[in-house]
Amino acid sequence: MKIEEIIVVEGKDDTKRIKEAVEADTIETNGSAINEETLRLIAHAQATRGVIVFTDPDYPGGKIRATIVERIPDVKHAFLRKDDAQSPKGGSLGIEHASPEIIREALKNVYTQRQAETSDIDRKFLDEWHLVGHADSGRYRELLGDVLGIGHTNGKQLLKRLRMFQLEKEDVDAAMTVILKELDEKDSLTAQRQEEENR
């Protein structure tokens, strides 16, 4: 699989893993301290071939993504689920831990940022689905980010990201219906197991 755009990653290990999965060129930000020279390089890459930002699914990765978007808003985005980027030893999260299949899948499902005004999603709608302002909101946001493939966010970022990728209420409704059904099934199984253990 050949990727036309240049992929922006955080470091050498990410580049190595990307090249095991696809034929592509990369730009490395060398961690979250992304400098002016790198931003100019990304801007040039966007103007000539296009860019896919593919950072780790953690806070520093989100910070790098936000810095790039602020400067070059029309880049494309690829995301990994935290579970797919987990080190086998635990603790560390990163693209370098993802399988080539998972990387190819993420690069097939890239998002392009568009004008936010087209989305009908507001904070009240997110509150109704318990995605903000509730004890279980963090868990729901993480699951929603995985189902929609838009990465993990806090409440404020979620609204921005859903609008940024022109996702509509019906997209969130469909995803949350699947999530709640799966959680119900999981809870039923857990209760059943506990019942059997108590006998």
The answer to whether residues 142 and 182 belong to one domain is yes
- The pLDDT tens digits for 25-83 are 999 998 777 999 999 999 999 999 999 999 998 888 888 998 998 899 889 999 998 88
More confident residue, 103 or 151: 103
Cα dist from 109 to 18, 52, 102, whole Å: 15, 11, 11
- The pLDDT tens digits for 106-119 are 999 898 876 545 67
The answer to whether residues 149 and 176 belong to one domain is yes
- Domain edge (last residue) among 113, 141, 171: 113
pLDDT of residue 86: 85
- What is the extent of the structural domain holding 59? 1-113
- The domain total for the chain is 2
Residue with tokens 């005004």: 117
Give the three-state DSSP class for 94: coil
Candidates 49, 21, 29, 61; CA nearest to 153 is 61
Please tell me the distance from the alpha carbon of residue 29 to that of residue 35, in angstroms, as a whole number.
8
- Domain edge (last residue) among 113, 128, 158: 113
- Domain edge (last residue) among 113, 129, 162: 113
Q: Is the overall model pTM greater than 0.85, yes or no?
A: no
